[in-house]
Amino acid sequence: MELNDREECSGTTNDEDDNNNNSKHNFKVTPWEVEGEIDYNKLITQFGTQPITSEMIERIKHVTGEVHPMIKLRYFFSHRDLDWILNKHEEGESFYLYTGRGPSGMVHLGHVMPWMFTKYLQEKFNSKLLFQLTDDEKFLQTQDRSREDISYYTYENILDIIAVGFNADKTKIIVDTRDIQHLYPIATEIAKRITFSTAKAVFGFSNSTNIGMIGFPPIQSAPCFLPSIIENKPTPVLIPAAIDQDPYWRVTRDVAERMGYYKPAQIHSKFLPGLGMVGKMSSSKPDTALFTIDDPEIIDKKVSSAFTGGQATVTLQRQLGGNALGCPVFWYLRYLFDTEKQSDERLIKCKSGNLLCGECKGDLSKESQIFLVEFKKRRENARDVIAKFMFDGAPYEK
């Protein structure tokens, strides 16, 4: 079942006309800020990306023999040139994956989800992966983060990345300040082709933006072209990442061909909702995020306190049914733990008043704890293999 996840949020209904109800879509998405209730269809128009259509899903099925639930359920809902990447694959040309993380805090399930999908892509397409940690960006972004804090989070985040289970022979983690000598030459080539006008329009820079942030985007663009340098030939790249990072790839795509590279293709995810009333899961609202290092009792407590789409009382819930599509607990379960069949049944039972919030919360708490017990073990083991994953500018093992 295809669900448009935010249409029923906050008690609004499908009957309302989008165009006459702007306040309903009062949202903001930039690489540094995600605010409000996001209308993902509007975002596709606004950013100029392509929706993942039923035809695209058929095409994926034709190429890979299956469709990953995160695509089927439209957690990955938008793309650029995904069809082109599939063509390249069918023509026998292998492509790199590239994704990243800004290490400004600990990792939560909202971060892990697209990484799990990236791991799936790596296995399915036998792809090499570059994973960038933008410690420089997180240092430049605000005046109050110390380099020591960012170094700490960088190390801790690397444990999470490795814990996802990427192929050690085909994955290299780049830390910007550590690996700047490999990024800088490409970044300057990109930077000289982007004017302040363009950067201002795409990223929303203003007179009060610091020049480090203005100069930063090419550092995030650089790994799009590193594969071509490593492989010594133009090499396709697919970027699985949340839609808020799209501005980076837009400017990168604009300069790619002039530099003799392919435009990077992308597949965009939605944000995993936080456990609060509105907004994505965020490290800056720790009570509404399930961190990978959270102890079971913390997970249980956070899930118990979660906002849901349920009615005020059990009686009302039985009588009126719940608003599953506006319920973060529902979406957590749907994206992460339920099968599609389970999730569709959960939706019907909730809407008809045959399911109480406590049951869903119980399922989410239990499943999260099971998931995180295993994840934490891999996370601990990761400490011993970090060196193997770190980028050193040298080609991958062939």
Residues making contact with its own copies (CB under 8 A): 136, 139-140, 143, 147, 177-178, 180-181, 184-185, 187-197, 199-200, 205-218
CB 287 within 8 A of CB 299: no
User: Which of 212/395 has CB closer to its own copies?
Assistant: 212
User: Which of 165/215 has CB closer to its own copies?
Assistant: 215
Q: Under 8 Å CB-to-CB from 170, ≥6 apart: which residues?
A: 122, 126, 127, 128, 129, 396, 397
**Three-state DSSP state, 50:** strand
Shortest CB 193 distance to its own copies, Å: 7
Other Cβ atoms less than 10 A from the Cβ of 344: the count is 14
User: Which of 185/395 has CB closer to its own copies?
Assistant: 185
Task: Identify which of 243, 175, 347 has the alpha carbon closest to the alpha carbon of residue 30.
Answer: 243
Is residue 197 classed exposed, middle or buried when 0-12, 13-18 and 19+ CB atoms within 10 A define those classes?
exposed
Residue found by looking up tokens 């009126």 in the block? 320
For every residue of 29-46, DSSP letters joined together read EETTEEES---HHHHHHH
Q: Phi/psi class of residue 304: alpha, beta or left (left: φ > 0; alpha: ψ in -120 to 50)? A: alpha
User: Which of 26/142 has CB closer to its own copies?
Assistant: 142
Q: Under 8 Å CB-to-CB from 368, ≥6 apart: which residues?
A: 109, 290, 299, 303, 332, 336, 337
Shortest CB 242 distance to its own copies, Å: 23
User: Which of 86/140 has CB closer to its own copies?
Assistant: 140
Instruction: Find the DSSP H helices in 65-104.
Output: 69-72, 82-90
Shortest CB 239 distance to its own copies, Å: 20
User: Which of 81/136 has CB closer to its own copies?
Assistant: 136
Shortest CB 189 distance to its own copies, Å: 8
User: Which of 61/192 has CB closer to its own copies?
Assistant: 192
Shortest CB 174 distance to its own copies, Å: 13
Residue found by looking up tokens 């597949």 in the block? 267
Shortest CB 333 distance to its own copies, Å: 41
Shortest CB 109 distance to its own copies, Å: 30
